[in-house]
């Protein structure tokens, strides 16, 4: 299986397209994809900083959106439960007829 032997040799794809305006050289996107040397505990503060920055970019739902989402989930669960209960009742009656 030649493809499995060469999977580790493939270059990483970067997010910078060819005409992005960078005049060549290494961009910050390219540096971000390359693994850094060093152990796990030294990379932990950077992980927490990146996680906090990502959490600040999240668009959190307001109270009405949460209530609407919760209502949709509850209605779906009730409908699915009723459907599965009906299928179970019919299946158990069929099993009783066969036995």
Task: List Cα–Cα distances, 50 to 33, 34, 45, 46, in angstroms.
Answer: 14, 16, 9, 6
Instruction: Look at residues 73, 71, 55, 74 and name the one whose alpha carbon lies nearest to residue 63.
Output: 71
pTM exceeding the 0.85 threshold for the entire prediction: no
Angle at 44 between CA 41 and CA 45, to 5 degrees: 125
- The first and second tokens of residue 57, run together, are 């970019």
pLDDT tier for residue 99 given thresholds of 50, 70 and 90: confident
Q: What is the pLDDT of residues 10-39, one digit of tens each?
A: 555 555 455 445 455 555 555 555 555 567
Q: Domain coordinates of the chain in residue numbers? A: 26-98
pLDDT tier for residue 56 given thresholds of 50, 70 and 90: very high
Total count of residues recorded for the chain:
99
């Amino acid at each position: 299986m030649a493809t499995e032997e060469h999977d580790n040799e493939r270059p990483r794809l970067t997010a910078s397209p060819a005409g992005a305006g960078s005049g060549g050289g290494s961009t910050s996107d390219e540096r971000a994809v390359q693994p850094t040397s060093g152990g796990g505990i030294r990379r932990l503060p950077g992980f927490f900083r990146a996680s906090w920055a990502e959490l600040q970019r999240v668009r959190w739902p307001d109270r009405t959106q949460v209530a609407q989402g919760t209502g949709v989930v509850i209605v779906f669960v009730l409908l699915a439960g009723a459907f599965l209960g009906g299928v179970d009742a019919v299946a158990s009656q069929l099993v009783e007829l066969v036995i």
